[in-house]
Amino acid sequence: MAQTTTIPRLGLGTYGRTGPEGLDALLKAIEIGYRHLDTAQSYGTEENVGEAVKRSGLSRSELFVTTKVADTNLEATQFLPSVEKSLETLQLDHVDLLLIHWPSARDQVPFEVYMTGLAEAKARGWAKRIGVSNYPIADLERADPIVGKGEIETNQVEIHPYLQAPRLRDHARSKGLTLTAYMPLAKGKVSADPVLGEIAATHGVTAAAISLAFLMGEGHIVIPASGNTERLHDNFAARNVTLSADETDAIRALDRGERMINPEKSPKWDD
């Protein structure tokens, strides 16, 4: 069955945090208080995440590590070996959350193959929790019979004030499934938004922090990415922001279905 411990609501996306500068940024984030580090096989940051965990001085149980199996590793002969390699690169014996990064485009790899692999990774103790990323409702529905009801703990998808994904959000809520918002700052667009800026001034934080606070208030996990120390602090401040009903409604009104990540391999989105 699924874990009872919740996934930390505010995490750090590690895309782009490569090399010595990337490692320094991860260590600074941990110093600030971030405890959830999100990486992926395709990011090239698993090594830095593992090194940051090792150098942090914190016990393993204090840090929550997520990684994702690339869509190039979904075949039965590749799936589990790729997870094993990720653990070696991370210098860990398990991750706290293992996700499928993208469903196989046009079912080039049968859905059952990699969902079974995901369940097997958990059964082997390589992942405490399992989930998915970029899954539409149809794929969520066909996942449960394979891995077991309630085993999928999150669906990591693009969500920000301009893409609030109401159909997917409402479906997830009806199933008790938490969504993880990647790119929650809309590639930095939120920083120039006048509505968010006005609300931010009221709370004494940045527009980015307001965006994150809004998404967390909607029940989502957020994983903003930054290598800048000041922005890491600014984003972390979102944890202490409580928005009024009027402020929340004003941000909900910003939704315009603006999707920024939509590669050729994308599934048919619900929103």
Region 100-104 average pLDDT: 98
**pLDDT at residue 211 above 50?**
yes
The domain limits of the chain are: 8-158, 181-255
Q: Where does residue 258 rank: exposed (0-12), middle (13-18), buried (19+ CB within 10 A)?
A: middle
Distance CA 226, CA 195 (A): 23
Confidence of residue 5 (pLDDT cuts 50, 70, 90): low
Measured CA to CA, the distance from residue 153 to residue 170 in angstroms comes to 16
Distance CA 234, CA 49 (A): 21
Indicate the average pLDDT of the chain: 97
Pull the structure tokens for residue 137. 């409702």
Range of lowest pLDDT (3-17, 31-45, 150-164, 186-200): 3-17
pLDDT at 3: 45
Judged against a pLDDT cut of 60, whether residue 106 lies above it is answered with: yes
pLDDT at 39 over 60: yes
Q: Average pLDDT, stretch 144-164?
A: 97
Average pLDDT over residues 123-140: 98
Look at residue 6 and tell me whether its pLDDT is greater than 90.
Answer: no
Overall average pLDDT of the 50-58 stretch: 97
Percent of the chain residues past pLDDT 90, beyond the cut: 98
**Is 101 marked as binding a ligand?**
yes
Q: Looking at the domain 8-158, which fold is it?
A: TIM Barrel (3.20.20)
Rounded-to-integer distance, Cα 153 and Cα 122, Å: 12
Distances (CA, A) of 127 to 123, 171, 181, 217: 8, 25, 21, 27
Catalytic center residues: 43
Angle at which helix 207-217 crosses helix 245-252, to 10 degrees, equals 100
Q: Any residues with CB less than 8 A from the CB of 183 and at least 6 apart, and which?
A: 13, 158, 159, 160, 260, 261
- Cα(63)–Cα(72) distance, rounded to whole angstroms? 28
Q: b/e string for 88-115 if b means 16 or more Cβ within 10 A?
A: ebbebebbbbbbbbbbbeeeebebebbb
Whole-number pLDDT of residue 2? 44
Nearest alpha-carbon partner for 270 in 141, 183, 144: 141
Q: What is the pLDDT of residues 163-210, one digit of tens each?
A: 999 999 999 999 999 999 999 999 999 999 999 999 999 999 999 999
CB count in 10 Å sphere of residue 116:
15
Instruction: Please report, to the nearest 10 degrees, the dihedral formed by the alpha carbons of residues 263, 36, 139, 137 taken in order.
Output: -90
Tell me the pTM.
0.96
